[in-house]
């Protein structure tokens, strides 16, 4: 989304226009200033309502700054001077999750996740706090969650013929023996039915096997939360006009 200069201040346009590129310079400064205000407003809204504090997430919001002239040095038309605020794509060209937050999204399970949507638990987060991001070792790579096998049986499934206590007994028994009879590595995410009798994604966290993802729903919906749209709406044409007037007065005062 871009923010374009919208002004009706003919006096300043006329006065600045008589000086080489001065109108374009002030217009670009105004638009960039407004874009920076929108960026700050957007980040504060994210921090307040979503508890987003990580540098990675907030740093993904970027501004493509307006310039007063083209690469050739030719002054830009006033209506062509604009700054663009956006969220960069994630690795592999995937849309950033802030886009899903802005517009809302529907997540569906797939065969690689047993038809369920993995929902992170606090045990997967840094410091086990809902205010913190998923820790690096507990992030999932698509298709890499394992099904453990012991003695030819799929451990942690309905077909293993074990109770929940017996399943955990096998896990900790294998842990003591260095997993010598186990196919798979429980230090990495694996599917497992725990004491709640529900399938989830587990992993060795510290010295304890813990559930790090729920696998309860086949579909989850993210509520639309248009923080960016609200931040842009808050930057009204009148605010931009006042910024332009102030910068124009300063520029004209400096060259008199």
Please report which confidence band the pLDDT of residue 8 belongs to, taking 50, 70 and 90 as the band edges.
very low
pLDDT at 131: 67
Query: For residue 85, how far is the Cα from the chain centroid?
Result: 15
Query: Given the DSSP bridges, would you call strands 149-150 and 153-154 parallel, antiparallel or unpaired?
Result: antiparallel
Residue whose C-alpha is closest to residue 202's, from 218, 180, 187, 182: 187
* Range of lowest pLDDT (7-11, 22-26, 137-141): 7-11
Mean pLDDT, to the nearest integer, of 218-239? 90
Region of 201 please: left (phi>0), alpha (psi -120 to 50) or beta: beta
Q: Which residue has the higher pLDDT, 83 or 126?
A: 83
Per-residue pLDDT tens digits for 140-149: 887 789 999 9
Per-residue pLDDT tens digits for 161-182: 999 999 999 999 998 888 888 9
pLDDT at 253: 81
Strands (E), the chain: 2-4, 61-64, 82-87, 105-108, 119-120, 149-150, 153-154, 182-183, 190-193, 199-205, 208-214, 219-222
Spatial distance between the Cα atoms of 209 and 184, rounded to a whole number of angstroms: 14
Residue whose C-alpha is closest to residue 77's, from 15, 23, 150, 6: 23
Residue whose C-alpha is closest to residue 197's, from 148, 163, 174, 236: 163
Tokens of 1: 């989304």
Q: Which residue has the higher pLDDT, 143 or 191?
A: 191
pTM for this model (two decimals):
0.66
pLDDT tops 80 at residue 103 = yes
Q: Percentage of residues in the chain with pLDDT exceeding 70?
A: 90
User: Where exactly are the structural domains of the chain?
Assistant: 2-101+223-255, 108-220
Query: Given the DSSP bridges, would you call strands 199-205 and 190-193 parallel, antiparallel or unpaired?
Result: antiparallel
Tokens of 194: 């725990």
What kind and span of H or E run contains 170?
Answer: helix 164-176
């Amino acid at each position: 989304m871009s923010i374009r200069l919208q002004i009706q201040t003919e006096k300043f346009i006329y006065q600045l226009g008589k000086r080489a590129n001065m109108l374009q310079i002030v217009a670009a400064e105004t638009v960039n200033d407004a874009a920076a205000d929108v960026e700050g407003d957007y980040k504060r809204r994210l921090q307040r309502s979503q508890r987003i504090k990580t540098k990675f997430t907030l740093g993904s919001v970027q501004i493509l700054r307006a310039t007063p002239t083209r690469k050739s040095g030719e002054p830009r038309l006033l209506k062509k001077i604009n700054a663009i605020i956006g969220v960069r794509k994630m690795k592999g060209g995937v849309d950033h999750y802030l886009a899903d937050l802005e517009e809302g999204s529907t997540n569906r399970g797939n065969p690689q996740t047993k038809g369920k949507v993995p929902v992170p638990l606090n045990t997967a987060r840094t410091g086990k706090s809902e205010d913190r991001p998923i820790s690096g070792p507990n992030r999932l790579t698509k298709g890499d969650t394992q099904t453990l096998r012991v003695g030819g049986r799929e451990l942690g499934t309905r077909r293993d013929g074990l109770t929940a206590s017996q399943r955990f007994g096998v896990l900790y028994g294998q842990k003591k023996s260095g997993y010598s009879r186990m196919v798979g590595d429980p230090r990495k995410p694996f599917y497992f039915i725990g004491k709640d009798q529900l399938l989830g994604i587990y992993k060795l966290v510290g010295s304890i096997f813990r559930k790090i993802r729920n696998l309860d729903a086949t579909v989850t919906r993210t509520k639309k939360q248009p923080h960016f749209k609200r931040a842009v709406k808050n930057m009204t044409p009148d605010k931009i006009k006042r910024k332009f007037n102030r910068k124009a007065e300063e520029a004209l005062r400096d060259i008199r």
